[in-house]
Amino acid sequence: MLWVFLRNNKNKPQGIKMNLFENTCILTGRLLLGLYFILPGLQKIVSFDMMSQYMTQHNVPMVSLLLVITIVLQLSAGLAIIVGFKGRLAAFILAGLTLVISVFMHNFWNLPEGGDVAHETQNFVKNMAIMAGLLILAARGTGQFSLDNRAK
């Protein structure tokens, strides 16, 4: 049943007509989501060594490579979401990145009782909410105020 729906609605989310309010909400959401990734991406460049040490403390493998990949994804996909160029793909990629970062960096389930459990739990849940917004954007599309839809 799901396969039939997906097969018959390949481009449906982009083709749905949205009103001004909906397009404005999507644009505002894109700006905020994009900034949420661009600013930390820039911060990681400035604090590369400190971030490498932090990732090492969280047992992240191949820190140097994964940190560079994270920076590139945060900056490029964050910008893609803001301008709405390949925004659905960028949102989907950042949703995956958010999940991976949350599992490694906000693993509250591995912390000792009385540690930063509450703080890391809050960060994990916040990231899952951001991931939800990214998945909605990936499914719904970037709206009329985007490069993806400039000719439509």
Q: Locate 49 and state its tokens.
A: 């060594």
Domain enclosing residue 25, as ranges: 20-149
Let me know if residue 10 belongs to a domain: no
Asked if residue 107 lies in contact with residue 120, where contact means CB atoms within 8 angstroms, the answer is: yes
**For residue 53, what pLDDT is reported?**
96
Let me know if residue 15 belongs to a domain: no
- Give me the DSSP letters along 27-75: HHHHHHHHHHHHHHHHHHHHTHHHHHHHHHHTT-SSHHHHHHHHHHHHH
Let me know if residue 13 belongs to a domain: no
Domain count across the chain: 1
**For residue 41, what pLDDT is reported?**
97
Q: What is the DSSP letter of 85?
A: S
- Euclidean distance between the first and final Cα of the chain, in Å? 30
Average pLDDT by consecutive 10-residue portion of the chain (152 residues)?
Answer: 42 62 94 97 97 94 96 98 96 97 88 82 94 96 90 58
Let me know if residue 8 belongs to a domain: no
**For residue 119, what pLDDT is reported?**
87
Q: Locate 113 and state its tokens.
A: 């009782």
**For residue 117, what pLDDT is reported?**
86
Across the chain, which distance is largest between two alpha carbons, in Å?
A: 56
Let me know if residue 52 belongs to a domain: yes
